[in-house]
Amino acid sequence: MIAEKVADHFKNIRRKVEAGQRLDFEDGLVLYDPRVPLQELGELANHVREQKHGNVAYYNINTHLNPTNVCIYRCRFCAFRSDLRDPKGYTMSDEQVLARGAEAFENGCTEMHIVGGLHHKQPYEWYRGMLEQLTAAYPTIHLKAWTPVEVGWFEFLTKMSVREVLDDLRQAGLGSMPGGGAEIFHSEVRDQICEHKADSHKWFEVHREAHRLGLRSNCTMLYGHLEEAFHRVDHLLRLRELQDETGGFQTFIPLAFHPENTELANLKKPTALADLRNLAVARLMLDNISHIKAYWIMLGIETAQVALHYGADDIDGTVRHELIYHDAGATTPEFLTVQRMRDLIAETGREPVERDTLYRHIHRDPSDYRKWTVGAPTATVGT
């Protein structure tokens, strides 16, 4: 009887999606119900994905920069952080940061993704300065940097408002913001996994201010630890609400929890089926966010490929120097060549399209791939 009710509710969801109607909290709970067959859920998410993006799948050429792993916080899901005196702890010098910029430039990267720990001995100027130096030396590389966790820390260090901090970082070269630090917004879970760092109120305040200043940002959700389905649905609806208000989110990235080397190492990593369900539910619930990303570093290459038929339209970048998930046991390669990235997408029947951080076409010089120009915005229908 209950199974029949779920099946009827799913039929109703299908009708709503096909009619372009928005799904509600109860719909979200049903989509997470394991009695809804994953394949049917995936087909519905794929229908929406193809309406928005046709057959293309996006990627970019990017690198990661994690300038320090020293962090005042001890989030229970984090394998990356270190204490100052721990042999694992590191803090990059200006020269090391600039060398990373040079490597990115040499490899034709259009983006640097910059996040890290909150180092109690480093002043705000150190964080700001690296944006300024990288922008001066490599002005064509877009700097996607700092989460609300860091911005909240900068607010504390400088006594400036969030808006003033963001404006100051923008003047130093900040191009957009990544989606990290969101984890799970609901306090029942957040208080158990990262009780000290920026709460959901701060997370939304920072993104709202960033959007008001004209910055675009991404958003994420860390799933597969202590949360239940209703926490995930609550999380998605809070993101959808801010997007209704500002329209500033570009991409949603569901992040699978990797337990290795964390305080929650007793938990099992989410399965590929759970990964695909999260991507598909996100595509269906977040009707106002253009892109859903299958982050291959975290999902593994094969799951990310399948995800391109379960709601995802973006597979992230070639990525160099990813540390956060590799510290937590990710076994994916540390980076992919451009050709490998294109081949992986093409193998799924999708058409690979290179984008920049702001979802504009990138045109490469065929005789030297390190040279590129920015083209028109990529087309998205229905957002």
Interface residues with ligand SF4 (CB under 6 A) are 71, 73-75, 78, 80-81, 117-118, 149, 194, 197
Q: Residue 189: phi, psi to the nearest 5?
A: -95, -45
> Quick one: tokens of 169?
């970082």
For residues 10 and 146, which CB has a smaller minimum distance to ligand SF4 in the complex? 146
C-beta of residue 65 within 8 angstroms of C-beta of residue 114: yes
Q: Quote the least distance from Cβ 379 to ligand SF4, whole Å.
A: 35
Q: Quote the least distance from Cβ 183 to ligand SF4, whole Å.
A: 8
Q: Quote the least distance from Cβ 223 to ligand SF4, whole Å.
A: 15
Q: What span, in angstroms and rounded, lies between the C-alpha atoms of 259 and 266?
A: 7
For residues 32 and 126, which CB has a smaller minimum distance to ligand SF4 in the complex? 126
As a whole number of Å, the end-to-end CA separation of the chain is 37
Q: Is 71 annotated as a binding residue?
A: yes
For residues 117 and 259, which CB has a smaller minimum distance to ligand SF4 in the complex? 117
The residue whose two tokens read 């309406």 is 51
For residues 73 and 90, which CB has a smaller minimum distance to ligand SF4 in the complex? 73
Among the listed residues 268, 297, 377, 274, the one whose alpha carbon sits nearest the alpha carbon of residue 66:
297
C-beta of residue 300 within 8 angstroms of C-beta of residue 269: no
Q: Quote the least distance from Cβ 76 to ligand SF4, whole Å.
A: 9
For residues 321 and 360, which CB has a smaller minimum distance to ligand SF4 in the complex? 321
The set of long-range contacts for 374-383, using a CB threshold of 8 Å and a minimum separation of 24, is 378/56, 378/58, 378/353, 380/52, 380/53, 380/290, 380/291, 381/51, 381/52, 381/53, 382/20, 382/51, 382/52, 383/52, 383/287, 383/288, 383/289, 383/290
Give whole-number Cα distances, 255 to 163, 282, 295, 301, in Å.
27, 12, 8, 14
Q: Quote the least distance from Cβ 120 to ligand SF4, whole Å.
A: 11
C-beta of residue 225 within 8 angstroms of C-beta of residue 193: yes
For residues 197 and 320, which CB has a smaller minimum distance to ligand SF4 in the complex? 197
C-beta of residue 108 within 8 angstroms of C-beta of residue 372: yes
Q: Is 183 annotated as a binding residue?
A: yes
Q: Is 109 annotated as a binding residue?
A: no
For residues 225 and 240, which CB has a smaller minimum distance to ligand SF4 in the complex? 225
Q: Quote the least distance from Cβ 72 to ligand SF4, whole Å.
A: 7
Q: What span, in angstroms and rounded, lies between the C-alpha atoms of 298 and 236?
A: 20
For residues 75 and 345, which CB has a smaller minimum distance to ligand SF4 in the complex? 75
For residues 197 and 258, which CB has a smaller minimum distance to ligand SF4 in the complex? 197
Neighbouring CB atoms inside 10 A of 190's CB total 22
Q: What span, in angstroms and rounded, lies between the C-alpha atoms of 16 and 14?
A: 5
Q: Quote the least distance from Cβ 197 to ligand SF4, whole Å.
A: 5
Angle at the Cα of 326 (from 320 to 332), degrees rounded to 5?
Answer: 70
Q: Quote the least distance from Cβ 292 to ligand SF4, whole Å.
A: 23
Q: Is 219 annotated as a binding residue?
A: no
Q: Quote the least distance from Cβ 71 to ligand SF4, whole Å.
A: 3
Burial class (CB in 10 A: 0-12, 13-18, 19+), 227: buried
Q: Is 75 annotated as a binding residue?
A: yes
Angle at the Cα of 27 (from 22 to 29), degrees rounded to 5?
Answer: 140
Binding residue ranges for [4Fe-4S] cluster: 71, 75, 78
Q: Which residues are annotated as a binding site for S-adenosyl-L-methionine?
A: 77, 183
Q: Could you tell me which residues are annotated as the binding site? A: 71, 75, 77-78, 183
